[in-house]
Amino acid sequence: TTRFNALDADARWQSVWAERESFRAGTRPGAPKAYVLEMFPYPSGRIHIGHVRNYTMGDVLARYKRMTGHDVLHPMGWDAFGMPAENAAMEKGVHPGDWTRANIAAMRAQLKRLGLAIDWSRELATCEPDYYGHEQALFLDFLASGLVYRKLSAVNWDPVDMTVLANEQVIDGRGWRSGALVEKKQLSQWFLKITDFAEELLDGLGELEHWPDKVKLMQANWIGKSQGLQFSFAPVAPFDQPIAVFSTRPDTIFGASFVAVAADHPVAQAAAVTSADAAAFIELCKAGGTTAAELETQEKLGFDTGFEVIHPLDAAIRLPVYIANFVLMEYGTGAVMGVPAHDQRDLDFARKYGLEVRRVVADNDLTDAVFVGDEAYTGPGALVNSGFLDGMTVDAAKSEVIARAESEGWGAGTTVWRLRDWGVSRQRYWGTPIPVIHCGACGVVPVPRDQLPVLLPENVDFKTPGNPLDRHPTWKHVDCPQCGTAAVRETDTLDTFADSSWYFIRFASQPDDQPFDRTEAESWLPVGQYIGGVEHAILHLLYARFWTRALKHLGKLDIAEPFAGLFTQGMVTHETYYVEGIRHDGDDLEQGIFDNAVPTKFWLSPAELIQKDGRLIANVAALAAYEVKVGRVEKMSKSKKNVIDPEPMFDTYGADAVRWFMLGDSPPERDLPWTEAGIEACWKFVNRLWRLFEAEQSGAGADIEIDRATARAVAGIAADIEALQFNKAVAKVHSLANTIEKAAPSASRDTAIDTLVHLVAPMLPHLAEEAWAARRHDGLVADAAWPDADPALLVDDSVTIAVQVNGKLRDTLTVAKDSSRDDLEALAMASPRIVATLAGAAPKKVIVVPGRLVNIVA
Ligand code: ANZ
Ligand code: ZN
């Protein structure tokens, strides 16, 4: 026997598949369609192991679907616009396009080495005009139908680099390159009206049966539907502005002890007019973060304006008005009533500023009006200390207060959404140019359709910070398409999330003259199975769902939900290694020079380690004196130096062993720790299978146990692949291989080996093709049909029965529990031992007790 020559087999079969265009979609007219999609990669430069895991899973499903008779669409492309290309341009002076296309070429070659069943004829890159030009057309459709608008909105402004920064470029409040304190600046920006679809996007989650619950919950929270009461507090003169607040807990209204407004609320502005302290406090708030997450964690700070308002249900109660840093201007009305006993933020605030904390919902038998402790009570209970609400449940009290407010005219029940419109403007070069022109006379004018795509200029300079489109000498200067006077192009480009919001539609249909052909796209969509990282659980998936619904709304595509099935896979992790030292200013870590200020870990990559006398030591001369410690198993990251590059693995073990490791070692939704021992074991197993497949071992006769084991594997592995439980499928392959190895030669065993070739074909496609050819089958296993499992063989509750001749035990048989009398009699009569015992004598009578025994009276 030979070793499986993976390197040779990989290359050979990959080129056979490519030449035959084996995985071209749309080639099986009339067959059921299956659209399998993995989230397309950003062309960062190299494939990482997370990609390998992601694409292997999708590939197994795609290949399996082909074998079960489907017309499969399994495409690949590149999410090719974005910041890193521009950073490379700034740092290395390469053009973003050159950088991106070189990365795509390198990564495409790497992906091909994995042996993916991809229809490469549909490959697309979002940075190419034949993609983004169509996106511009869709943007104009949205614009025409009122789904796009412009408004002033705050951006992060780096005053040194004179440029707008993406949120990720702001690190601890400072610009990532300049280190300057980032300012908020108001700019007119483009928005997509995703909020028009809030209700639909929320309700639609209910239909997504094949989505993980946790993702649906994250989306629901992001959309954030809150029902409650919006009402106004009347001012106490001389203060003269009523303050509208939104509350989801109107039942707690008698527990209100203050009102708080956001720093940019008009009431705060009014306070600043007369009070320098108020103005200073507002500035302080603005310096802090403004995202909801930042507000959550910040210390709660307030400023007492001295204004007072009147409680709507008891005019004798007056409440102080504060400016508070935890109130968001963008949510609700930008003002809240503070109920310290039943809201943690309000309680923290009240304790800090000495405000009343009044209990209004009983906590078990606690009913005292004075609330003690520092933990707000948010549970159920009966209303107390609340006049006419006393004794009611929380829900009844909510309805009662809303009804009163509505009948007395001081408030109304309302729904408030957390979801904001999608700001799509980026002041960047490497993105889809927003296809409009600003004319002094006509205003915003869409670029005429016949002038699309609006191409990015090639000759741009990245030496000066800021938006290269804006400072380009000629690009933006055009004549107005309407009146012909001098005008300027929009220089913002689209958020790259726009590019990934419809690429799955373009994969399904890619005509030259329009973004997609409706009928063709509808024939494939929705994507049957979408696979990707949970980091996209919110934004990407929400934007793609919105974009699809927007197209439906425009009558362009009759698909409500783009992804019928979603799977979020776990990460690939790896051990970390380090030496511990002490660091001071003059340290040279590369030289291993540490001194006495701060203890520090100096991370080592596996390549920097060697085994010596059973110990790990650093293969870096300067660090040889230090003990290498094994750190935690963590997500692969450059900083911890625990990244494993998959490409050398293809050379050492071949694609199939790598694929096998990706599938078998952990449940797909869990993290997968990469280990050398694990990949070694996979390589050994691939060779074990190869020995089975290659051996010329034909036997005669049936072996029912092998037949059963084979049938169980066929049915079980099919179910596991459909359920994306690849590790279970891998375990079943192991088990069938064991059974076959132990079995004596028989025709059943030969069939089992052939069947096993089919079963591993989706997972180990190169090995399977090689075996298919070695076993002299025609064509490709990739085109073969998934084997059938005889249902009769699947009955796995078997029993052992006794076979007697004239009351004496002569044999035992393992049979299906529900075998009929006739089957049992036939099996007993066919047993070689019984045949021998009877020695030709004809039985007088056969007594069958199903599930127990067969007694032959001779
Ligand atoms: C009084 C109250 C009492 C509240 C209580 C909660 C508990 P969700 O459910 O997330 O929508 N709120 C309203 N507008 C706000 C804003 N602009 N910035 C910060 N907080 C704001 O949250 C709604 C609740 O968050 C509202 O209900 C309000 O506080 C606060 F025991 O009103 B509540
Ligand atoms: Zn004009």
Q: What is the DSSP string of 402-445?
A: HHHHHHHTSEEEEEEE----EE-EE--SSSPBP-EEEETTTEEE
Q: What is the pLDDT of residue 598?
A: 54
pLDDT digits (tens, 9 = 90+) for 234-280: 999 999 999 999 999 999 999 999 999 999 999 999 999 999 999 99
Q: Is the CB of 331 under 6 A from ligand 1?
A: yes
Q: Which atom of ligand 1 is nearest to the CA of 248?
A: 27
pLDDT digits (tens, 9 = 90+) for 809-818: 999 988 888 8
Take atom 2 of ligand 1 and give the residue whose Cα is closest: 249
DSSP secondary-structure letter at 590?
A: G
What the block records as the tokens of 21 is 């265009």
User: Among candidates 629, 639, 632, 637, which has minimal Cα distance to 579?
Assistant: 629
Q: Is the CB of 231 under 6 A from ligand 1?
A: no
Pocket test for ligand 1, best of 259, 311, 336 (most atoms within 8 A of CB): 336
Q: Are 602 and 590 in contact (CB under 8 A)?
A: no
Q: Which atom of ligand 1 is nearest to the CA of 333?
A: 17
Q: What is the pLDDT of residue 30?
A: 95
Please give the C-alpha separations between residue 51 and each of 342, 380, 646, in angstroms, as whole numbers.
Answer: 46, 47, 10
Take atom 22 of ligand 1 and give the residue whose Cα is closest: 248
Side chain identity, residue 549: R
Whether the full predicted model's pTM is greater than 0.80, yes or no, is yes
Buried b (16+ CB within 10 A) or exposed e, 818-853: ebeeeebbebbeebeebeebbeeeebeeeebebeeb
Low-confidence ranges of the chain (pLDDT < 70): 1, 168, 288-296, 581-600, 625, 796-797
Take atom 32 of ligand 1 and give the residue whose Cα is closest: 247
Q: Is the CB of 246 under 6 A from ligand 1?
A: yes
Compute the distance from residue 466 Cα to the ligand 2 centre, in Å. 27
CA distance 530 to 545: 13
User: Among candidates 535, 561, 542, which has minimal Cα distance to 198?
Assistant: 542
CA distance 58 to 48: 16
Compute the distance from residue 136 Cα to the ligand 2 centre, in Å. 20
Pocket test for ligand 1, best of 248, 319, 383 (most atoms within 8 A of CB): 248
Q: Is the CB of 332 under 6 A from ligand 1?
A: yes
Q: Is the CB of 249 under 6 A from ligand 1?
A: yes
Q: What is the pLDDT of residue 396?
A: 95
Compute the distance from residue 551 Cα to the ligand 2 centre, in Å. 29
The ligand with the least distance to the CA atom of 486 is: 2
Compute the distance from residue 201 Cα to the ligand 1 centre, in Å. 23
Q: Which atom of ligand 1 is nearest to the CA of 226?
A: 11
Q: What is the pLDDT of residue 250?
A: 97
Q: Is the CB of 236 under 6 A from ligand 1?
A: no
Compute the distance from residue 470 Cα to the ligand 2 centre, in Å. 20
Burial class (CB in 10 A: 0-12, 13-18, 19+), 297: exposed
Compute the distance from residue 482 Cα to the ligand 2 centre, in Å. 5
Compute the distance from residue 240 Cα to the ligand 1 centre, in Å. 24
What is the ipTM for the molecules in this complex?
Answer: 0.88
Take atom 25 of ligand 1 and give the residue whose Cα is closest: 247
Q: Is the CB of 338 under 6 A from ligand 1?
A: no
Q: Is the CB of 290 under 6 A from ligand 1?
A: no
Order across the sheet with 443-446: list the strands: 443-446, 436-439, 486-489, 477-479
Compute the distance from residue 83 Cα to the ligand 1 centre, in Å. 36
Q: What is the pLDDT of residue 596?
A: 46
Q: What is the pLDDT of residue 613?
A: 81
What is the three-class DSSP state of 67? helix
The ligand with the least distance to the CA atom of 439 is: 2
Please give the C-alpha separations between residue 705 and each of 582, 738, 743, 795, 810, in angstroms, as whole numbers.
Answer: 65, 13, 9, 12, 21
Q: Is the CB of 248 under 6 A from ligand 1?
A: yes
Q: What is the pLDDT of residue 315?
A: 94
